[in-house]
Structure 1
Amino acid sequence: MTAEEVAERLLVSQSKISRLENGRRSISQRDVRDLCGVYGVEDHRIVDSLMQMAKESRQQGWWHAFGDIPYSVYIGLETDAASLRIYEASVVPGILQTPGYATAVTEGSWPEATAAEIERRVQVRMRRQERITDPDNPLRLWAVIDESAVRRIVGTRATMCEQLEHLVQLSLQPYITVQILPFDVGAHPGMYGKFCILEFHDPQDASTVYLEGITSDLYLEKPSDVQVYSVMYEHLRMQALNAEQTRRFLLSAADEYRD
C-alpha cells in the first residue's frame, strides 16, 4: 500500500502516515492497532507486543522537555549509543563544545534565531554532554577534527582559547580520543563533509551513520553504507595527528589566541 492508501483507510492525513514512518511523530497504541487492522495482522500476540512497544516508546527522553528540537531523533540515538566516531570539518563537535563556543556557533549558524531559541539550543547541547561524563556508562568517543575548526575564530579569541584548552582536558579522559587533521595532509576522505558513526550495546541494533543537513538529516543503516564510512574514518584517523601530538597542537594554538 502507498501512504496515500493507508491514510484513506484510516481517515487520517497522508502527512501523519509519513511522519510515523519517518520517526518524526510518536506512535500511539491506537495507531498501532489501527495499522495492524489495515495491514491484516491477525496474530494477537504480535499486535499486543507492538502495542506494548508503542506504550514504552512514549516515555519521553529528557530532550522533549526543551520543546521541538530539530535533531531530536539523533539525540535519542546518541543517548543510547555505546560509542561514537565523529568527523567534523569546520567546527568543534557539539558534544565537546564549551558554553561560550556553543553560543557563538549557534548565533552564527542561525542568524534569525531569537535569544530564547539560542539559549534553548545551547542548553540542549550542554545537557547532551552529560552522556560523556556518565561515571557508570561513559560514551566511547573518538573525534577527528579538521584544523580549520581550530583556526576559525568562533566568538572571540578568549572563547577559542577556552575551547581549545577544554578539548585538551577532555582528551585526557581514557574513553575520549581527539585528533586534529592538519592542513598539510592535503586531500583526504573527509573533504565531502562531516559525519558520525554510532554503535550500540545491543548487537541487534544496527550501527548507524548520521549525516546532518540544514532542513533534514540522513540516517544510513545498510551494512554496505556503514562499511564505506567506517573505512573512510580509519583513513582519517591514520592521517591525523596522534592524541599526544594533538594536545601539543591545541595548547600551542590556545597560546596564540591568548597572546
Structure 2
Amino acid sequence: MASASSPTVWRRWLAFELVRLRQRARLEQRDVARELRCSVAKISYYETAERPVVVRDLDEVLLPLYRVPRERWPTYLQAARDSRQKGWWERYDAVTLPGWFSLFVGLEQGASVIRVYEAQLVPGLLQTREYAEAVSRSGTAERTDEEVARHVELRMTRQAVLDRDPDPLRLWVMLDEAVLRRVVGSPALMAEQLRHLAAMAQRPKVTIQVMPYSGGAYPGMTGRFQILDFPWPSDPGLAYVEHRAGSLYLEEPNEISAHSVAFEHMSANALSPSESLTLIADAAEEFA
C-alpha cells in the first residue's frame, strides 16, 4: 500500500476501507453498531472520517467481524494509530487556521497529486515569503503584525510538501495571465515572485501552465478550485472550492468529474509548460 504523511489522510483511507469491508461482509451500519455496542452515529463517524477509529474497536470487533485475514491486521491497526496523531498544523490557533481550512491542510499534506486553478494570485504552495506577507496584509481582516507573521509561517511550512521524502507532492498549476500582471506588493516584489515561479516550474514534479488573455473565454472563469488525489486507487479524491467565509469539499462523482473535465479543457487550451515558462520569465523581466 502507498504511504501517506498526514493523519488526516490516514483517517480518510481507513474510512473508505471500513465502508468497503462492511459492504463486502453484507452488513448494515446498524449490524455493526450492535456488535460494537454503540450508536449507529458512531459507525457513521468512522466511515466518514469525522472521528479517528479507536484501535481497540478495530482489534476486538471490526476486523474479526469483517473477516479480515490476520496477516492484514497490522496494516489497519497502524493506520488507526497514525490517524490519531497530531499534524504539525494543529499547533496553530483557530484565528490563524480555522477548522474548515485545517482539514484542507491535513488533506494537502497527504495528497499525492494536486491540480490547482487560480485566476488572481499565485497559489500558496508557490508563493515567496514577501508575496505571502503582502497578500496577508491586503485581506479584509485587520491583522496585527503578529497575526500576519503566523499566517506567513503557516504558508511557508505548508510548502515542505513539495520536498516530502520519499514522495514529493505532484503539483499541476493552471494560472490566468492576470496572476502574472497584477502587482502585489511592488514591481520588485513581483519580479522576485515570478522568478521563483519560473524556478519552481522547472522541478520534475511541478507543472505550470498559463491561460493567456488572447485565449478568450475558458471553463475556469467561474472561479478558482483545486482537485486532490490520494495515494491509493480506492480513493476517488475530491474537489475543493474556497470562499470568503469557508470552503466546500466536493466528493460526489459528478462533482469531481465536472472539475476534472474543466481542468482538462484548460490544460488543452492553455500555453504549453515551456511557453508558459517563457511568458513568466518575460513578465518578471518587465517588472524588474
Q: TM-score range by the shorter chain?
A: 0.7 to 0.9
The Cα shift of 1:58 comes to: 3.4
Q: CA contact under 8 A between 2:184 and 2:190: conserved in structure 1?
A: yes
Structure 1 residues 21 and 217: CA distance shift in structure 2, 3 A? farther
Match of 2:173 in 1: 143
Q: Report Cα offsets for 1:215-239 as digits up to 9, x if no partner.
A: 1110011111111111100011111
Q: 2:238 aligns with which of 208, 223, 238?
A: 208
State the secondary structure of the residue aligned to 1:212: strand
Whether 2:286 is the aligned partner of 1:256: answer: yes
TM-score, structure 2 as length reference: 0.72
Q: Residue in 2 aligned with 1:8?
A: none
Q: How far 1:186 sits from its partner (Å)?
A: 1.1
Higher mean alpha-carbon deviation, 52-61 vs 115-124, is at: 52-61
Q: CA deviation at 1:134?
A: 2.3
SS at match of 2:142: coil
- Kept in 1, the 8 Å contact 2:46–2:53? The answer is no
SS of equivalent to 1:144 = strand
Distance 2:46 2:102 in 1: 15
- Cα distance between partner residues in 1 of 2:142 and 2:78: 42
- Matched letter for residue 230 of structure 1: S
- Structure 2 counterparts to residues 8-157 of structure 1, below 5 A: 45-46=61-62, 56-68=82-94, 69-70=97-98, 71-157=101-187
The equivalent of 1:159 in structure 2 is: 189
Contiguous gaps of at least 5 residues in structure 1 = 1-18, 34-43
Within 1, Cα distance between the matches of 2:276 and 2:63? 53
Identity of aligned residues (%): 39
Letter in 1 for 2:109: T
Equivalent residues of 1:23, 1:73 under 8 A apart: no
Q: Distance in 1 between matches of 2:47 and 2:131?
A: 36
Q: Secondary structure at the match of 2:184?
A: coil
Encode CA deviations 1:134-168: one digit per residue, 9 max, x unaligned. Answer: 24111111000111111110001111000000010
CA 1:218–1:21 in structure 2 vs 1: closer, same or farther (change >3 Å)? farther
Alpha-carbon shift at residue 174 of structure 1 (Å): 0.8
Partner amino acid, structure 1, of 2:209: Q
- 1:205 CA drift (Å): 2.3
In structure 2, stretches of 5+ residues that fail to align are 1-44, 65-72
**CA-to-partner distance for each residue in 1:2-52, whole Å, 9 max, x for gaps?**
xxxxxxxxxxxxxxxxx999978x6695xx99xxxxxxxxxx613999999
Residue 189 of structure 1 aligns with which residue?
A: 219
The change in CA–CA distance for 1:62 and 1:238 in structure 2 (over 3 A counts) is same
Alpha-carbon distance in 1 for matches of 2:115, 2:243: 18
Q: How far, CA to CA, are the matches of 1:72 and 1:256 in structure 2?
A: 37
Alpha-carbon separation, structure 2, partners of 1:229 and 1:28: 31
1:118 CA drift (Å): 1.1
- State the alpha-carbon separation in 2 of the partners of residues 118 and 51 from structure 1: 40
* Aligned mates of 1:139, 1:112 — CA distance in 2: 33
Root mean square deviation, CA, Å: 2.8
Cα distance change, pair 190–56 in 1 and its aligned pair in 2 (3 A): same
Q: How many residues align?
A: 230
